[in-house]
Structure 1
Amino acid sequence: MSRFKALLLAGLMMFSCGPVLAQQPVPTLEKMTKTGVIKIGYTTRNIPFSFLDQKGEPTGYTIELCRRVVDLLKQKLSRPDIKIEFVERTASNRVVLLNDGSIDLECVSSTNTEERRRSVWFSYSHFITATRFVSLKSSGINTIADLAGRTVVVTKGSTNIAQLNTINREKSLYLALVQGVSINDAFEMVTQGKASAFVMDGILLASLVANAQNPENYVLSAEALSEPQPYGLMLRKDDVGFRDAVNDALLTIYKSGEINDIYNKWFMTDIGPDGVNLNTPMTGDLKAVFDNPVNLGG
């Protein structure tokens, strides 16, 4: 074989074995129209946002919100037969499941941050909460400074990890940081004395305490570890049509005032397996979000 033919053959082999361009995902609205299905991500014990009812069906504030969004998408697509397929997700795999098409819309309690927007997009905000910590009253931990030298737990895949690392470094707290698989797992570590405090979104901690066997044993920090952060429904990045359709649906729900009834149902009445009332009135900041939602999603 001549040198020219050998080089030509080598070039052809390199070309044929080169990297294959990633196939672009089908836009969600187009996929919904073709399949008659939308896949919604949920979790089982994230009261009041996403949990299972007595029949084992997903329910909660964001689940109800997403059901209403889907109702409005059905109207938009003239496809009243579109079905919801619920897919369980975890804090650590939710982005992967979104980007590989396993879910189309994540309907739990995900914080909308700049870092996350590098991988996914978010809808208009549906809740706002600051980061706090919960501890046992018997531990005598009341302030961030009291955490110095303690073991503190956060959940895998949460934004609270970066927040806590920053505070740990800035205040020289010398914390021992451990990660729980879920919020319930992390809370149990505090209950069992395996961690002195659990750092998480304030509303989720309040819910855990309210639903605990002995709520009087716990104290939620008055001191926040962050400014209030927005929650949004997560969806695939660069899916402009779907993002706009979801936001349009939320805008309809917000402007009609329907959001007030949905909010009060989950934050101001008895909910969950134990019928606990979180008694968390809508804040002025959240009402302002509903009155004038802003696209922070991408």
Structure 2
Amino acid sequence: MSLPTCRLSSSVACVAGFLRPCLRRVLTVAAGLALVIPAVAPAGQPPVPGLPRVNTAAIPWSMADAAVALGDDTAARSDASPTMARIRERGRIVLGYRQTAVPFSYVDAKDRPMGLAWALCQRVVQALQREMEMPDLRSTPVRMIEQMRGPLIKGEAIDIDCAPSTVTVAREQQVAFSLPYYAASVRLMVRHGAGIHSINDMRGLRLAVVQGTTAERLVRAQHARAGFQLLMARDYDDAFRMLRERRAQALALDDVLLEGLRATSKSPNAFRIVGPPLGTEPEYYALALPKDDPAFKARVDAALAEIFRNGDMLQLQRESFQAAVPPFGHRLRIVPSPDMLALWAAGARYGSAADNNTPP
């Protein structure tokens, strides 16, 4: 095909008009091959101390940008995200969950996932069904342990980890995080009457902690000073078993998860949470997502922001945090704190003109 004859004064517009249909054909072929050029957006500063910043930086030039320039909205919606392309290809979305992370991610008597983080993921799936025009999109639950979160997401075996994942700089090397939806503090749980009131009373005693958690990092920082013996657990249930069977005199974990574990016990009143928080900053929970896929993160964040805005978050929290917990049916009675309500209010401003990525 030869270039058309153009006057010098309009040569740029003429050539652009000639190349436009060619570029459209190239993009169409590439879209059929699921070609995606991932874009990495720089991280900003947190909107409030300890909170991850919502990333709304523009995605660099990619196939999706070219599609927008050509007016191809369908390609812009799907091809910008390698995760969504993978979900579309397999016809299902894979969701990770925990077995005993009450009240965020655990199983009922019929071994079905439930909890607040799991409920949030179900809302995200509904939003993706509408966004991708896939009303029959199925979700596949996969049971995970804390240590496998990063490798499974990085290896594309998990699309979203629907569990209480604390946002940390180290974890951000492997995964991305959604808008935060909860805040907690790491504390100790002990048996009633143990005479332990804080970590300073643990010298010579055994402290259980789940490997790979932020609680492990915090107790290790005080290990030499406090002089306790550290017992490493595989998961939450394993750690609580150490405390129940008196192999450990204390268990370090996020306070809300400790409340959940206590509710799974036959005798919840036999255990109590003691001492001040072990960290100086709250632990912010978010859904863990594939790294280097800002388009997918933007869609998940938009779905969460809508939940924060329309009041559903309070209802979901009430259902999960005041429910009867298996196997003994003890009820959690955890109400949202003022800090939690402020966190949800901040999340509700995501994507609004008033937000503009500035601290509240």
Aligned position for 1:144: 199
Query: Which of 177, 200, 214 in structure 1 is aligned with 2:230?
Result: 177
CA RMSD in angstroms comes to: 1.9
1:19-58 alignment to 2 at 5 Å?
A: 27-58=82-113
Q: Distance in 2 between matches of 1:181 and 1:131?
A: 18
Structure 1 residues 54 and 140, CA, compared in 2 at 3 Å: closer, same or farther? same
Query: Which of 157, 162, 165 in structure 1 is aligned with 2:212?
Result: 157
Q: Distance in 2 between matches of 1:163 and 1:106?
A: 23
Partners of 1:255 and 1:291 within 8 A in 2: yes
Query: Which of 152, 162, 169 in structure 2 is aligned with 1:114?
Result: 169
Unpaired runs of 5+ in structure 1? Answer: 1-22
Q: Distance in 1 between matches of 2:272 and 2:148?
A: 30
Structure 1 residues 270 and 213, CA, compared in 2 at 3 Å: closer, same or farther? closer
Q: Distance in 2 between matches of 1:244 and 1:118?
A: 18
Q: Distance in 2 between matches of 1:109 and 1:256?
A: 22
Partners of 1:36 and 1:83 within 8 A in 2: yes
Q: Distance in 1 between matches of 2:109 and 2:334?
A: 23
Aligned position for 2:346: 292
Aligned position for 1:251: 305
The one-letter amino acid of 1:248's match is A
Unpaired runs of 5+ in structure 2? Answer: 1-35, 39-80, 351-356
Q: Distance in 2 between matches of 1:234 and 1:105?
A: 6
Partners of 1:48 and 1:272 within 8 A in 2: no
Aligned position for 2:253: 200
Pair 1:237 & 2:291 matched = yes
Q: Distance in 1 between matches of 2:143 and 2:116?
A: 16
Is the deviation greater in 77-86 or in 263-272?
Answer: 263-272
Query: How many pairs are equivalent?
Result: 272
Partners of 2:263 and 2:325 within 8 A in 1: no
Aligned position for 2:271: 218
Partners of 1:47 and 1:272 within 8 A in 2: no
* CA positional deviation for 1:71: 0.1
Partners of 1:45 and 1:184 within 8 A in 2: yes
Question: Percent same amino acid among aligned pairs?
Answer: 29
The one-letter amino acid of 1:185's match is D
* CA positional deviation for 1:249: 0.5
Pair 1:98 & 2:148 matched = no
SS in 2 for 1:87: strand
- Structure 2 length as normaliser, TM-score? 0.72
Q: Distance in 1 between matches of 2:105 and 2:37?
A: 30
Partners of 2:164 and 2:285 within 8 A in 1: yes
Greater Rg by CA: 2
Aligned position for 1:76: 131
Q: Distance in 2 between matches of 1:220 and 1:98?
A: 33
* CA positional deviation for 1:167: 2.1
* CA positional deviation for 1:36: 1.6
The one-letter amino acid of 2:309's match is K
Q: Distance in 1 between matches of 2:220 and 2:164?
A: 21
SS in 1 for 2:285: strand
User: Bigger relative contact order, structure 1 or 2, given CA contacts below 8 A and separation 6+?
Assistant: 1
